[in-house]
Structures are given as C-alpha cells and as structure tokens.
Structure 1
Amino acid sequence: MPDGTALDRTKLLAARYRAATDRPYLASALYSLTVVPTAAVPTMGVDRHWRCYVSPAFVDATPVQELAGVWIHEAAHLLRDHHGRAGRLPAADQRDHARINLAQDCEINDDLIADGLPLPAGRVVPGDFGLADGQLFEAYLPGIPPQPHHDCGSGAHGRPAPWDLDGKAGPCVSPVEAEALRRATAEAMRGHERARGHLPGGWRRWAQEVLEPTVDWRRVLAGAVREAVAWAGGAVDYTYRRPSRRAPALRGAVLPSLRRPLPRVAIVIDTSGSMGEDDLAAALAEVTGVLREVGVRGDRVSVLACDADVQAVTRVASAEQVELGGGGGTDMRVGIAAALAQRDRPQVVIVLTDGYTPWPAEIASCRLIAALVGDAPPDPPAWVETVRLGPTPGRPT
C-alpha cells in the first residue's frame, strides 16, 4: 500500500465469514464482493460492479464483529440498488451525494441495529435527525441537512469515487448477475424466515418487494389501452376520397387508396352499489388521458354507465363530461352488448368494474379490456385482457 500499511486479509475475510455464518441468507451477496485494498477509501466502500474497496488502516483498527457489520452494510447498498435509485432522484438532489449517502445509511443501519449487529462508532441512524425508523432513503433525504459524511462509494450514491477502478478492471458483477443475486438473496431470506421465524422488518419488506414487486397500475392500464388502440387502428380499408398513387400508371381506371382509421372506443363503467366513486374517477381519468394521447377523442369515445341495465350513453372528450348513474345490481354483459350494438360499433371496449359481475359466455368480436378495481376482485374469463388496479390509496379497504 502507498502508506506502507498492508491489508490484514485474514482478519477481513474472517469478518466476512462471520457475517455469512450468522446471516446465511446474505452469504451469496457477501461472497460476490471482490476485495480491492486502497488507502484512498476512509473505511470501506463499494462500486456498482460489486467491488469492495477496503482501507487497511480501518481493518487494523476495527474489531472483527464490527467489521462483519460493515460487510453487511456495504452489501446492503448493492442489494437495495441504492445507486440505481439515486439515479432516479431529481438532479438537484443527485449533486449532493453526501446527503444521499447519509439517507441511505439511515435506511440500512436501523435494520442492522435492530438485528443486533454491532457497528463502528460514527454510524448514523434516523433518530440522529429526529426521523422515524423503517423508512426508505428517499423519504429520509428531505429531513437531512447538508453536512460532511464518510463515503460509501459509487455503489451507494451513484457518483464516481476517487478510488473507483475502470469498469472492466478486475472481477465485476454485471447488472444481470446483480439482479439474479438480489432475487436469490430475497428467496433465501424468505426461506430463513419460514425456518427460523425471524427476519428484520426492513429486510422482510425488501425481500417481498423483490419477489412480489408492486406494479404501477396506471402504467399497465396505459400500456394495455395503447396496445389495443394500435391493434384496432392497424386495420385498413379502401377509400376513393384519395386516389391511389398507382392510378397514373393505369389510364382510365380509378384506384382506391388504403387508409388506417382511428378506432372507436367504448368505456363501460360499473355504477353498481359496490363500486367506489374514487376508484371509478381515478381509472376513468387514466383511460381518457391515454386515449387523448393516442389521438382517440371526441365522438370516437362513448361511455356507458351500467349496473344491471344501461343507465346512460354519452360521447365524451374528457372524464369531467361523464355523468354516472345507477347504484343497483351488476351485469356488465348488458353494457358490453349495448356498446357493441351502437351504430358506430367500437373496436375496443374497456370495462371498469370491481369484477363482481357475469361476463359474456363467448369471446367478444372486439378487443375487450377489464380494468378491475378493489382489493381482491374475482377473475374474469381467461379470454378477457385484465388489468388489476387495486384499491385507491387512502380509501378504507
């Protein structure tokens, strides 16, 4: 080493072995870290390639049990994809990597301390800033004032550190391998909890999010609507309003040209007594917004309010123009049949419902999307494209 201090590799690796033995669900992640000795790092730090930069002086001064906690702390930065999440922060926040690192350490250390892990002096916890335990670093960040802080490396805050090696220098873990490690670790945590019955709350939440990620229903619904509209709009028809470009080659003949008309869309809204107004308003606003983006608007969109019968049929350009009526029983078959019986037959039908309704017995002659609201709506027939919206935040379940 430049400062003449040699790394006590035996002590460092003994600490990693202790960490992996005491918490076997972290073993794969811990042993995927490549050790890089350097006097440039103040303690220990990681980069996004799963290289762990280690100060020999820090290893000499730190007991093995505390080194084991630091190993787990650094692995947690990578397992929780802190550098990736930091890259999604607003640009102004990204520039203050010391505050980001502090917030990330708060997210990790409260879990490690609750798990009984000793950490070196100087570690930070949410209580140091008057913040509650158990939050993600994005929630902690606004409550942390600017101040100096030791650097856990680019694998934490995402900004290049002075000691970082070139991306391809030495062993490294690829992004695909990192995702596989995260999933394997989450599965090991779930197995450990079933066998031993104990897992820190932060790790339990993290494992659940990795294995059962929360999907933004707005993005799913928007994708389904866009795809259905593109599918219907891909149909072509012949028109004589605009002559074919091949017509000049055939004297005396008028050739039609092909056109791609915008599809007509019907939105069938379940207005039965079991539906919540907040759910309907949120879903309808998303649907009409997507239709507006793809150019389907005005008289090409019809909305049918339906419980056990069709209460109203309107042509709308925005969600504010919809008037919902009903409040009785539920039978979306009536609404779907009425939509398809319109003079301007729709190519896409979107049904907003809680799912407690009969469905048609056969595949509809159009693209049919069911947007299901509520906690646990029953499944529609397999041939119906389904998007589960879940409960509206803040609404009692």
Structure 2
Amino acid sequence: MDVEKLYSARLLATRARPYLASALFALHPVESRLVPTMGVDQYWRCYVNPAFVDATPLADLAAVWVHEVSHLLRDHHGRGDRLATREGLDGPGERLRMNIAADCEINDDAFGDGLPRPEGALHPAVLGLPGGQLMEEYLPQFRLGARTQDHVWLDCGSGADGLPRPWDLGPDGAAGLTPQERDAVRFRVSQAIRGKPGTAPAGWARWADAAFHPPQPWRQLLGAAVRSAASAGGSGDDYTYGRPARRGAALPGVILPSLRRRPPNVTVIIDTSGSVSDAELGAALLEVAAIGHAVGGRRDLVRVMSCDAAAHVAVPLCRGEGIPLLGGGGTDLREGFTRALRRNPRPDVVVVLTDGQTPWPSHRPPCRTVVGLFPRAVQPSWDEDDPDYEPDRLPDWAKVVTIG
C-alpha cells in the first residue's frame, strides 16, 4: 500500500479541517483488500484497500479521510444499533439504508473549502432530500430503488451502521481505542470547534454544543424533581392498616398500623407573560398533567395559577380541561409566590414553569420549589443607562430543570 500517499492525504485533510486534527490522527490505518474503499469500525481503526489508494487523487483521498472520521465522531455505529433495535431493522438491505442516511448527514456540508467532493459521494439532493438533517430523519424518507442503485457498493464499515464486517479486528484486535480514549478524542474536537466559532459548518457547531452539553431527559428530570419534593412534605399524620408497621416485628401476633404520609399540596405557577410563546404555554399544560401523575394522581391537591406581572386565580387541576391562562404583559413571579403561599393550606411544593426572565423572591420560600425552565438562546439585555440594574438570576434555593 502507498502509505506515503495515504498519510499525505491525511495531512491535507488536517490542513483543510484543522478542528478535526485530533480525530484524524487518532484513526489507525489497517490494510485490507476486503473493504471496497475505506471503512471504519467503532474502535477507531480505518480499513484501507491499497487499490483504492492508488486509484484515488490525493485531494479526493483527503476528503474520504474526513468523511470516515465523521462517522465515528457522530457515533453512527451506536445510533445505528439503537435505531435497528428500536425499529426492528435488520439485514444487509436495512444496514445499507442506514449507511446511505448517515452519508447524507455528513456529506451535505463536508466538502468545499479545500476538499473536493469525491466521485460517487452521495449527497441528499441525489435522493431528492433536503440538507441539514440527521441520519434518523433521513432514513424514513427513502427506500432502496432506482435512486440508490448506483450506491449499492457503498460500505463505510461497521463504524457507519453498527453491523460487524468480515474484516473487523474486533474489540481484542490491535490498535483499538478504549471508550475513554474515544470520548477524549470527541471532547478535544468539540473544544477545537467551540474555541474558534465560525470556522466550522453549522452541523459541526451543533455537534460540538451537544458534545459539551448533551441533551437531558428533561421530562424524567422534571418528574423526578417533583416526586422528590412531594415525598419530603412532612411526617405522617394518619394511620393505615394497608401497610403493617415495621415495629410490628417486635410484637408477634399483634398487627400495628403504620403512619400514612399526608398527600402534598402542589401549586403550579405558569408564566403567562408576553415573552412566553403559545407553544411553550401548551407544553406547560402538558407538564401540569404529568405533575398530576407525579403526585399519585391526586388532582384535587394540585392547583394551577397563571402569572405575568400579577397573579391570577388558582384553578384546581381536577378542572384541568378549563384552565384559563391569563396574562400577556410583563413578568413578576414574586406575585405568584406571594399568592400561592397565602393559600390555606399552604402548598408543600411550588412548581414554576417559566422562561426565567422575572424577578424572584429575595428569600427562600417555606416549601420545596421546582423550576421548569424554557430555554432562551440569547440572554435578555440590560439597561446600560441604569448603573444599579442587575440581570435576573435563577435562585439557588430552587431545583431547576431545563425543558427541551
């Protein structure tokens, strides 16, 4: 194999895409005449056919380096396996579709700026698909047929779809990277992209943001935060024989009742100011329904209050189909807290669904507080003419969960 040409192409790829340098040099080339062109496995080995190296121009070979390492950085092998398990996709035909969909995700912005598009490289437009989508979004939009018949030879290896290939060396083969080393490579690449914003395409910038701040399962986090707050709502104050007392073991033949915890009272404050969109208000109502499940289905103990610059009427969740969301003006959720804490009985848990652009109470409320935060891409600006103005900050006494 012409190793000098192969390594020269990698150096050219590094010069064209400097933010991928750590990943390109982490790939370990392995000569193999079984692979049609070049392919990767999840252990960061790059299998190379010597005939392909000889027949491919240097610049095109550099573009293939970038293409193959993109499969690994974007975890196409792991995503392909999860997709196959979830959707019941199996067999070489479905894996070929995954490889094609993964190539569409990569190739829509992989070339140009010093890297030519190699001959035969698949682009979403060839299949009549839009650019800027993910593998999981492309896959349902096409089937194998006339538009894909020129790409049936495509095989980027198990690193593109998760299906092992005959040429793979496997987890025990030489020169494979451990999971920790793979994560370190991804982290260094994401640092390089974020360190010089504007030097990478938008797809890579989004990838780097996700690598630094992976998306959280916010529905589970919000539900867990509410359940945690509700379960800490004081000691038991009623007796039940539904669950025997643990002290009963000391008195054989005697059945002692156990203390039953009082169900918590929950007040949900929904930010209805002008900065909260209709879609977010709809999402807030969905979260209200989930909160009802989180407290054991006692909808009569959950009240919903809308609040902008003033607090409005608190409505019991048992009339949830008619919850009025009043507001649309400025924002001051301190009014909502004040009104909620004046209720009798006082709530054990206050859940606030807001975009965070509001003043907060100066002191910790006498109850557990959970904030479901609608994210904002740009922080609110401040009045430069007012030297005493300070941007509102989320309180440190609340459990904050970002709503996706």
Match of 2:170, as an amino acid? D
Which residue pairs with 2:10 in the alignment? 16
Q: TM-score, normalised by structure 1?
A: 0.83
Whole-angstrom CA distance in 2 between matches of 1:299 and 1:135 = 44
Conserved 8 A contact 1:102-1:149: no
1:68 to 59, 62, 65: 62
C-alpha change, 1:281 and 1:187, in structure 2 (3 Å) is same
Which residue pairs with 2:171 in the alignment? 167
Which residue pairs with 1:348 in the alignment? 349
Q: Does 1:107 align with 2:108?
A: no
Which residue pairs with 1:128 in the alignment? 126
Shift of 1:334: 3.4
SS, match of residue 109 in structure 2: helix
Which residue pairs with 2:316 in the alignment? 315
1:40 to 34, 37, 40: 34
Conserved 8 A contact 1:76-1:108: yes
Whole-angstrom CA distance in 1 between matches of 2:361 and 2:396 = 12
Shift of 1:42: 0.8
Alignment of 1:178-257 (within 5 A): 178-191=182-195, 193=196, 198-213=199-214, 215=216, 217-230=218-231, 232=232, 235-237=234-236, 239-242=238-241, 244=245, 246=247, 257=258
Gaps of 5+ in 2: 381-391
Larger mean CA deviation between 25-34 and 119-128 belongs to 119-128
CA deviations on 1:266-303 (whole Å, 9 max, x unpaired) are: 11233455544432231131232243155242222122
Shift of 1:159: 1.3
Q: CA RMSD in A?
A: 3.1
Whole-angstrom CA distance in 2 between matches of 1:303 and 1:49 = 51
Conserved 8 A contact 1:103-1:141: yes
Larger mean CA deviation between 30-39 and 11-20 belongs to 11-20
Shift of 1:308: 4.9
1:141 to 131, 136, 139: 139
Whole-angstrom CA distance in 2 between matches of 1:268 and 1:312 = 11
Which residue pairs with 2:87 in the alignment? 91
Match of 2:395, as an amino acid? P
Whole-angstrom CA distance in 2 between matches of 1:103 and 1:248 = 62
2:401 to 376, 383, 387: 387
Conserved 8 A contact 1:38-1:54: yes
Match of 2:183, as an amino acid? E
CA deviations on 1:78-106 (whole Å, 9 max, x unpaired) are: 01111122233242456501111112112
Alignment of 1:257-272 (within 5 A): 257-272=258-273
C-alpha change, 1:346 and 1:58, in structure 2 (3 Å) is same
Shift of 1:361: 2.2
Q: Does 1:284 align with 2:285?
A: yes
C-alpha change, 1:200 and 1:313, in structure 2 (3 Å) is closer
Q: What percentage of residue pairs aligned between the two structures are identical?
A: 48
Conserved 8 A contact 1:222-1:287: no
Q: Does 1:49 align with 2:43?
A: yes
Which residue pairs with 1:368 in the alignment? 369
CA deviations on 1:204-239 (whole Å, 9 max, x unpaired) are: 333333335455654543343233234x26x54254
Conserved 8 A contact 1:82-1:157: yes
Conserved 8 A contact 1:269-1:306: yes
C-alpha change, 1:137 and 1:179, in structure 2 (3 Å) is same
Larger mean CA deviation between 164-173 and 256-265 belongs to 256-265
C-alpha change, 1:38 and 1:323, in structure 2 (3 Å) is same
Conserved 8 A contact 1:268-1:350: yes
Match of 1:322, as an amino acid? I
Whole-angstrom CA distance in 1 between matches of 2:246 and 2:398 = 40
Shift of 1:31: 1.5
Whole-angstrom CA distance in 2 between matches of 1:374 and 1:79 = 27
SS, match of residue 112 in structure 1: coil
Larger mean CA deviation between 324-333 and 118-127 belongs to 324-333
Conserved 8 A contact 2:13-2:115: no
Shift of 1:339: 2.6
Conserved 8 A contact 2:16-2:114: no
C-alpha change, 1:281 and 1:150, in structure 2 (3 Å) is closer
Which residue pairs with 1:394 in the alignment? none
CA deviations on 1:325-382 (whole Å, 9 max, x unpaired) are: 4556644333323333333332211122344444322111111122344634642332
Conserved 8 A contact 2:43-2:171: yes
C-alpha change, 1:72 and 1:222, in structure 2 (3 Å) is same
* Number of residue equivalences: 378
Conserved 8 A contact 2:240-2:260: no
Q: TM-score, normalised by structure 2?
A: 0.81
Conserved 8 A contact 1:240-1:255: no
